[in-house]
Amino acid sequence: MSALQHFRAPDGLAPGPGYSHAVTGRGRWVAISGQVALDENGELVGPGDMEAQAWQVFANLNRALAAAGASFTDVIKLSFYLTDISQIAVVRPVRDEYVDTARPPASTAVQVGALFRPGLMIEVEAWAVCDD
């Protein structure tokens, strides 16, 4: 793992729930495209169920990171796109099963009108920095 530095609550900023305000490190960059709740056959997992979709999304992120030679310990940034931001509380416990809650990545969460396919409720992209 690359030497990452996490800044959970820099001077003048309140700590966030499960994210760092800034993360820095040196190494090889890995960009993971936004992952959605589709299985290996392209079938929607968990129609109408944010928690089921979040589990599938994080499993997909885990697979994509592994394919690039990285893991969640290397993730420096997660971007969440939800069709209903009030459901972020349902997503956080799933996220916490994958990320180191003592050294969480930076994070952005936004509500969007729709995702690319009907029925999708969440999309998450990741940036990681790992050893060369």
28: pLDDT confidence band, cut at 50, 70 and 90?
Answer: very high
Question: What is the spatial distance between Cα 83 and Cα 50, in angstroms, rounded to a whole number?
Answer: 10
Amino acid at position 71, single letter? S
Amino acid at position 6, single letter? H
DSSP 21: S
- pTM, entire model: 0.95
pLDDT in tens, 102-132: 999 999 999 999 999 999 999 999 999 998 8
Which tokens in the block code for residue 38? 């589709």
Could you give the 3-state DSSP secondary structure of residue 25? Answer: strand
**What DSSP assignment string belongs to 32-83?**
EEEE-SB-TTSPBSSTT-HHHHHHHHHHHHHHHHHHTT--GGGEEEEEEEES
pLDDT in tens, 53-97: 999 999 999 999 999 999 999 999 999 999 999 999 999 999 999
For the chain, domains (ranges, CATH) are 30-130 (3.30.1330.40)
Question: What is the spatial distance between Cα 101 and Cα 18, in angstroms, rounded to a whole number?
Answer: 6
Could you give the 3-state DSSP secondary structure of residue 90? Answer: helix
